[in-house]
Structure 1
Amino acid sequence: MTDQPISPPVAKKVPVERTHHGDTVVDDYTWMADKTDPEVIAFLTGQNDFVTARTGHLTALQDTIFGEIKARTQETDMSVPTRTGDHWYFARTEEGKQYGVSVRCPVRGPDDWDPPRINAHEKLPGEQVVLDTNAEAAGHDFFSLGGLSVSEDGTWLAFSTDIVGDERYTLAFRNIATGQELAETITGTAGGAIWSRDARYVFYQTVDDAWRPDTVWRHEVGGSTPDVEVFHEPDEGFWVGMGSSRSLEYLFIGVGSKTTSQVYALRTDNPTGELVSLAPRIPGVEYEVDHAAIAGRDYFLFTHNGVVGGTKCENYTVDIAPVADPANRTTFIAHDESRRIEDIEAFADYLVLSYRSDALPRVAIADLRRIDGLPTADDFAEVRFDQPLCSAGAAANPEWRTPRLRIAYTSFIEPTELIDLDVASGRRTLLKRQIVLGGYSPDDYEQSRQWATAGDGTQVPISVVRRRSTASPAPTLLYGYGSYEQSIDPTFSVSRLSLLDRGVVFVVAHIRGGGEMGRRWYEDGKTVHKRNTFDDFVAVARHLVDTGATTPGQLVAEGGSAGGLLMGAVVNEAPELFNGIVAAVPFVDALNSILDPSLPLTVIEWEEWGNPLEDADVYEYMKSYTPYENVRAVDYPAILALNSLNDTRVLHTEAAKWVARLQDSTTGDAPILLKTEMSAGHGGVSGRYKQWAEAAFELAWILQQTGAAPEPAAGDA
């Protein structure tokens, strides 16, 4: 560090009044909204320079951590092949290249269900490049592949790319065998495409000005006719999505808000036919549909949270109906308050139920070959694993008639495994375990479940991951999200090892607003119950301090996007509990954003946060917790805000305004840092080496703020 004080650029103040429900607020930083304004760019680049000055002393540590991530990673590698049609599809990565290469090789015959052996350094017989992402990304600072879809006959590839980071994709078409690319492209798509069975048409989506996917189109590949609008949803509170059944018999178009959905179906052998609504749109009822063939008859399976027998199926139930009469639905798997059903997937010979119980994801299978008629809930057998704290679920399984189910398994301390389960015999075949170089052993680490008590008495689950040799009180990183019913399940991370091996304990707070404990857990952390999310997180932090697991001087909290709102709220509520905060693309100016229906995503977000435009109580409630509104003159801990200029989900202005107000208000000396990626979107930088470098920067800063040792413990990599 320099001997002279280093100060961030001071943002100018241009007072703008905002009045709602009789409440007038003065905002000094609304001018930052225009990312084309040279003064905005100057402020962001000046903040980046400030970050560089204040973190320059961490460069050597950052380089070391980058080297650790790289040294633990099998850079030249290949994924386990997945069968689709007449080919095995897989991906290769090569040392020194930022992106992967999608490839395929032919199956050996109709009964070939054994994936080709994995050899990262040799080509497989008949191997053929489907798409070299490195070639597509050449010359671009940012690159994202939005989707990759192969026609059923294996001839044509549809792929979409984004070179800016704004998630507006360009769709292109290529003959896989010849490499010939058609001159026609479609710009401004939402990413992804679905082929008709005859490969004559593709279906794709576009977004409106608020970045809402709202329209499905049919495009005649190689044809001259204009694209046909297949479906349009005018209601700004609903998104449109699409997908095909595993049987390839149906194209499903789903329309959904945060609380209500509707599904339409189209026979894929009649791509110019009419869509059919499978169930009406009922406010407060969400449902998904899959196509199943059971005992020689075709059915639709409805997973929904509607009312059955006068009871709201909050944790979802599954109905079944004949394809010929989708309104004739009967209960297939009954509602269970202790189990949150998340999905049911149909295969030719079995059904797979994915659900959540005891804050962990689980999977169960019903073998249709062993059952006369329709199965019942008792026919589903859970696939069990020995580790009590783990994640297990169906992986990529595109084939309808496969006798094997591919399962992904992992935990906080075990690298991801891909397993083929022979459904008839129950035999499991380990296809691949994620390679971690450098002598990694799960036995050196431990994971455990603890519980913290929130202010209202609610028991909040906590996952704790540490190196066995770590003593308490320990440097600690506390992670949280708590929105949109998203669950933070046990997953393995190579980069996290650089923290664990330096004595940092990694903790996940499974707070309300997430989905870990069922639908009610989510409902109790949204709209006018949102404060429960923040209170739970603070309760977890206090639990860690009060039990002697860590101290405030060793505790750093991290969250991103809606988890960034969490970070901003808790640092306002309890700044004394933390020595550092990492907020990635943080949704910290939530009230101003949700008050502006012209912004991307705002209207559909009203069901998550409430509508402060129409409801004065919601306005006051949101104003009471949104981070930007509640910045005050206190000693804030060090804060690292990570921003992206081209983000369309959480606009750059949120973090910029928040940091400007924090820097102006804090009474302490801890640095408030804003690091903006000038060529990236919501997911940050692209390319694995760039992502590793960014991770190394964040981890070095976290190590500094937790007071952890700069070097791994003796004997560690």
Structure 2
Amino acid sequence: MINLFPLWLLGILILSACSNPTKTNPLLPSHLPEAPVAPREDTLITIHGHTRTDPYFWMRLSDAQKNSAAPDVQTRKTLDYLHAENAYTDSVMQNTQDLQQKLFDEIVGRIKKDDESVPYFSNGYWYYSRYEEGMEYPVVCRKKESLESAEEILLNINEVAKGHAYYSATALSVSPNNKILAFAEDTLSRRIYTVRFKNLETGEFYKDEIPNVSPGGAWANDNRTYFYTSKNKVSLLSEKIWRHKLGTSTKADVMVYHEKDPSYYIGAYKSKSDKYIIIYAQSTLNSAYHILNANEPSGTFKPFTPRSAAHEYSINHFEDKFYIVTNHKAQNFRLMETPENATAMENWKEVIPHREDVLLEGIDVFKNYLVVSERKNALNHLRIIHQKTKDEHYIDFGEEVYVAGSSANPEFDTELLRYTYSSLTTPYSTIDYNMTTKTKDIKKVQEVVGGHKPEEYHAERQWAIARDGTKIPISLVYKKGTPLDGSAPLLLYAYGSYGNTINPGFSSTRLSLLNRGFVFAIAHIRGGQAMGRQWYDDGKMMKKMNTFTDYIDCSQFLIDEKYTSPQHLYAMGGSAGGLLMGAIVNMEPQLYNGVIAQVPFVDVISTMLDETIPLTTNEFDEWGNPKNKAAYDYMLKYSPYDNVKAQEYPHLLITTGLFDSQVQYWEPAKWLARLRATKTDDNLLIMRTNMEAGHGGASGRFEPYKAVALEYSFMFMLEGIAE
């Protein structure tokens, strides 16, 4: 990687005073070196008769340029600028170096180093993963028939990760005869995977390697045929499904499905019953499935039902029928069933009707039971239904604020449901629930090394009133004794997009905040699905502004109720949640003392106008297509990069990754440059670019916590918390 530091970016003599002069704070540097200044090179972008000026468009590099051994002038300038910002961040945060190390050691110190997952049974074997002390990656293992049997190592990820600054192995799948392992690896953090195969009898890797794929695939029942998904090499969108015969050249692979609509994600998987290979195509508003008998891998996939507009559904095979979770005439989804030989929609029959106050999120199918995952009033519920008698009951969880969900349940003929449970005060538990006797067997409780006493903390649910009268749920946790008089620092987290709900689960990392007097809160704002599908619909497209105003109104509620004050309120969000951060600091900057924007999606219009960028075409139904003037005008109202103005902003920490394929690094880099050139305050504005990683940051078990230590130190520095 090129690491040049140009003289035109060095600020060595000009000093500026740091803000917050009324508070003696040993962590805040009394003076700062001059920040890097990105050169302005205006690019004009005109559409719908409107021209936007982008002074930092030059920062955009191609993947080839980023990895070039002989970088051109633009590449050198861009990389130099990113390195200069990293150096500036190091300078600003210099007084927190010891604190960052202490926090990292503290956070990592709570993690059991030689931990092991709870084994689950599948096709004659018990599968589990374990960590060896000092290792960054898990060792994936199994034991035949009994947990007393000898251990067999399927994949020691520490071994295959050697020599890579970043490494991810995912979508591990064992062939039906238990002899071959398929898995997908990414060595760049660009989410471009290669499928590899391992002979589990000899321990040798096959020569077959399939590059440029999405993770995940499906074995046919002949133990030789593997279905996988290739990506478009420019947009990185999943595009084609292929059939590969193990031991043959990938050049001989047969394409079995080609999705020509770039608004869809596609992939292949196998039904839990092992009878079908299933291809899915999913867009924001539409679903489509094709099925093939897994005993006939050379056959032709047939459509499950004709694709139709604005219809989302999922399918599960059971005996001689399919269950369908569908939103057809059911905004919160309902459950249907249909014979496996007559799957078109006209044959579907209702099993569970639509309910206005309950979101049907999914199902797990067993021989004797059906488990329905539901959400009501921003909380999960697990509903157990006997397949034959139709008797039903719910599992009782017993706390006000919690998260629970179905876990690894690959076995079909069992009365045990494995689920996980946690709350803001209670570590995660893995529980086997006997659906017949209604008894619970706690298989494992997450160990917090050094101890954790849930009774020392308090969790609660509050409801803020949005400006349009809507009640917005907020989940809160703090250590008992924390003053609730407006003096406590509070970190408010939210996401608010794609229907993703941030659940109120436990985090041992978060103890480093709570034990230092912070309140932690999650705003379950519109754009997620905490309160059902309408919650999502009211926070996207031409209603996206609700997401931002909900967050602001939750912030004001927490201030009014004396959980915190503007001098101690901190905001955090990542990716689409980073867009949220960008919007709220433009709209109501005075509410926040500090903001952490992780890999923020802030240049909304430029990105959504560029269909060569990954995700763009998939998300026209999420954000709108700015080629449509109405969508363009609406997006222009909130796009953070386009709405930076001459005003005071909170202290800001921005993070990004050079190889991010989801939110390209140049979005946060350009945003920072425009903020620095425009804002009127002396508050901190820093950015950390991980030059070796992408959207998810560093790989490994412990390395990512260095970024967390930086974020926490940023807030502690502003609060004057030195220990």
TM-score under structure 1 length normalisation: 0.93
Q: Does 1:618 align with 2:631?
A: yes
Shift of 1:4: 4.9
Give the CA deviation at 1:269.
0.9
The answer for unaligned runs of 5 or more in structure 2 is 1-27, 66-74
Identify if the C-alpha distance between structure 1 residues 2 and 536 changes in structure 2 by more than 3 Å, giving closer, same or farther. Answer: closer
Q: 1:441 is aligned with what amino acid?
A: K
CA distance in 1, matches of 2:373, 2:261: 31
Superposition pairs for residues 684-703 of structure 1, below 5 Å?
684-703=697-716
CA shift at 1:3, angstroms?
6.2
Distance 1:274 1:362 in 2: 39
For 2:343, the aligned partner's letter is P
User: Counterpart in 2 of 1:82?
Assistant: 120
SS in 1 for 2:216: coil
Aligned with 2:242 (options 217, 232, 236) = 217
Q: Give the alignment of 1:339-418 within 5 angstroms.
A: 339-368=358-387, 371=389, 375=390, 379-418=391-430
- Deviation per CA, 1:502-530, whole angstroms, max 9, x where unpaired? 00000101000011000000000000100
Matched residue SS, 2:600:
coil
Partner letter of residue 33 of structure 1?
R
Q: Using the TM superposition, give the Cα deviation of residue 600 of structure 1 relative to its aligned residue in structure 2, in angstroms.
A: 1.3
8 Å Cα contact 1:301-1:319 kept in structure 2: yes
Match of 1:437 in 2: 449
Letter in 2 for 1:280: P
* Residue 685 of structure 2: aligned partner: 672
Q: Is 2:44 the partner of 1:28?
A: no
Give the partner amino acid of 1:344: I
- Counterparts of 1:349 and 1:271 in 2: how far apart (Å)? 29
CA apart distance, 1:75:
0.8
| CA-based RMSD | 1.3
Give the corresponding residue for 1:299.
321
Q: Report the alpha carbon displacement of residue 403 of structure 1 after superposing the two structures with TM.
A: 2.4
Counterpart of 1:5 in 2: which secondary structure?
strand
Query: How far off its partner does 1:350 sit?
Result: 1.2
Tell me what 1:428 maps to: 440
Which residue of structure 1 lines up, in the alignment, with residue 36 of structure 2?
9
1:284 equivalent to 2:310? Answer yes
How far apart in 2 are the matches of 1:3 and 1:403?
A: 64
Counterpart CA distance in 2 for 1:468 and 1:172 is 50
Tell me how far apart the structure 2 counterparts of residues 282 and 385 of structure 1 sit (CA, whole Å): 39
Correspondence 1:570 to 2:584: yes
What SS is found at the alignment partner of 1:223?
coil
Residue in 1 aligned with 2:136? 98
User: C-alpha offsets along residues 152-172 of structure 1, whole Å, 9 cap, x if unaligned?
Assistant: 111100111111111111111
Cα distance in 2 between the residues matched to 1:355 and 1:193: 28
1:55-66 matches, within 5 Å, as 55-66=93-104
Q: Give the distance between the partners of 1:3 and 1:532, measured in 2 at CA.
A: 40
Deviations 1:110-138 (A, max 9, x none): xxxxxx4xxxxxxx531011000000111
Alignment of 1:492 with 2:519, yes or no, is: no
- 8 Å contact 1:289–1:300 — kept in the other structure? yes
Query: Matched residues in 2 for 1:634 and 1:628: separation?
Result: 14
Contact 2:277 2:293 in 1 (8 A): yes
In 2, the alpha carbon distance for the partners of 1:612 and 1:574 equals 25
Is 2:540 aligned against 1:526? yes
Cα distance in structure 1, aligned partners of 2:441 and 2:685: 50
Letter in 1 for 2:170: G
- Secondary structure of 2:206's match? coil
Superposed displacement of residue 62, structure 1? 1.1
Corresponding letter in the other structure for 1:558 = M
Partner residue, 2:642:
629
Q: Which moved more, 1:169-178 or 1:411-420?
A: 169-178
Q: 1:592 aligns with which of 606, 613, 616?
A: 606
Specify which of 274, 277, 282 is matched with residue 300 of structure 2: 274
Partner of 1:657: 670
User: In the alignment, which residue of structure 2 is the partner of 1:554?
Assistant: 568
Q: Output the CA distance in 1 between the equivalents of 2:30 and 2:454.
A: 44
Q: Is the 8 A contact 2:477 2:519 kept in 1?
A: yes
Residues 16-415 of structure 1: matches in 2 within 5 Å? 16-34=43-61, 36=65, 37-108=75-146, 116=147, 125-208=149-232, 209-224=234-249, 226-293=252-319, 298-307=320-329, 313-327=330-344, 328-368=347-387, 371=389, 375=390, 379-415=391-427
Give 2:21's aligned residue.
none
Shift of 1:708: 6.1
Residue 646 of structure 1 is matched in structure 2 by 659
Q: Which amino acid aligns with 1:425?
A: T
Instruction: Return the alpha-carbon distance in structure 2 between the equivalents of residues 468 and 21 of structure 1.
Output: 56
Percent identical across equivalent pairs?
38
Rounded to whole Å, the distance in 1 between the matches of 2:434 and 2:720 is 46
Shift of 1:176: 1.3
**Contact 1:502–1:710 (8 Å) recurs in 2:** no
Whole-angstrom CA distance in 2 between matches of 1:249 and 1:324: 13
Residue identity matched to 2:265: W
Matches of 1:686 and 1:461, distance apart in 2: 33
Secondary structure in 1 matching 2:530 = coil
Contact 1:503 1:708 in 2 (8 A): no
Contact 1:88 1:105 in 2 (8 A): yes
State the one-letter code of the partner of 1:627. Answer: P
Give yes or no for contact 1:643–1:655 (8 Å, CA) kept in 2. yes
Does the 8 Å CA contact 2:32/2:92 hold for their aligned counterparts?
no
For residue 106 of structure 1, report the CA deviation from its aligned partner.
1.0
Aligned length: 679
Q: Does 2:549 correspond to 1:535?
A: yes
Contact 1:247 1:347 in 2 (8 A): no
Counterpart in the other structure of 1:111 = none
Cα drift, residue 22 of structure 1:
1.0
Contact 1:635 1:666 in 2 (8 A): yes
* Per-residue deviation, 1:2: 6.3
Give CA-to-partner distance per residue, 1:287-340, whole Å, 9 cap, x none.
1111012xxxx1111111112xxxxx1000111111111121111110001100
How far did residue 667 of structure 1 move? 0.8
Q: Could you report, residue by residue, the CA deviation over 1:625-682 in whole angstroms, capped at 9, with x for unpaired residues?
A: 0100000111111111100000111001100100000111111111111110011011
Give the distance between the partners of 2:99 and 2:398, measured in 1 at CA: 37
SS in 1 for 2:536: helix
Distance in 2 (alpha carbons) for counterparts of 1:596 and 1:509: 31
Q: Deviations over 1:352-388 (max 9, x none)?
A: 111111111111111225x2xxx4xxx3321111112
1:120 paired residue number: none
Q: Alignment partner of 2:205: what SS?
A: coil
* 1:424-466 per-position Cα deviation (integer Å, ceiling 9, x unaligned): 2112111000001212110000110001111111111101110
Asked whether the 8 Å contact 1:148–1:193 carries over to 2, the reply is no
DSSP-derived class of the 1:552 partner: coil
| Aligned-partner SS, 1:688 | coil
Q: TM-score, normalised by structure 2?
A: 0.92
Q: For 1:318 and 1:4, how far apart are their aligned partners in 2?
A: 63
